[in-house]
Structure 1
């Protein structure tokens, strides 16, 4: 199966998940996680019609970012160290892993230097796993209030990572929890439109529970 066939398969599965949940499939963005592959493969993914690409290590991403001249929306989806912000911001349009105040301050500082705004998602540890980064659900609203004066940060939604499970149904409550948290915050923070959740093993359940961005790696990108 080539990249176009893989992309079509993912899009079809999203379409079916949207039909089951009464959603418009155009509201779901597929982010191809290209950390597994080099420039030629990434170009092939673009040719398959996917224009949103995700990376989680700036050192691996920069050769692709600089080599690819086509219009691409780059998403930084991994843990972002504060000392790497200056390297990431000139190239990435989205930061999915805003998970602490020190990172917010550095994003604001570097965005001011570049005279840009940064689209961010607040990472939430819905499952409560100690191995995962992110705010607890109870910490999100105080954090949003604290960073509300940081004019360069455009917090556009929430992100979570579900536990690894043999059955995707086991993690449905995690995705539903993020949706419910987002919906509870929207009256005060109406710009929280996005939910980044779901990966190769569970993205259909995530879409059924309201995901607007799914981060697809192995089933889409690996040769």
Structure 2
């Protein structure tokens, strides 16, 4: 790939700005100062530096983020901070897609990926990938029979569907762990509202086999898709 196209893809500026970077001898490939915009690089093997900083190349970039409350699951927004605002250099230069969005006031595991195919695979109902949540309720709950059998609620378009808890257990006073295999619009909140409870705190802790682990609020790390889809790839 041409060096100017590569740097343009990573949002290092317009063609004019990138041309100036090269003219000012700020672009180095394999210890060689680059002088021409059309210099070809091997994405997988060449080492690219700008102003002495290494510019890593990811054929596919997958990030797991511990989303804080108050951040919108979106790339841009005029009213709220977004999860992309939490991503630092150089990862914020990639075109990250959000898979399995969380509500503004919901915390926990969020997947950001450059692969549209992977993002779709995670959220598609046909994949039946399990999502695990920790739920804080307005009052204590001991009877999960209705949620285990399934309750009729509405999705974001107002269409009714059967929502069922794949697994559910009590973690403590007013605190529940629930596993579902979909994750539609406000699904967990609406499931508990259906049986007379209000969700006052919600955190996703696991998708498939991918867990938050020791990630603190606002932190993220790179992961390989096999971590999330272990059963699909290895069983």
Q: Which has the larger radius of gyration?
A: 2
Structure with a larger share of its residues in helix: 1
Identify whether the pair has TM-score above 0.5, normalized to the shorter chain: no
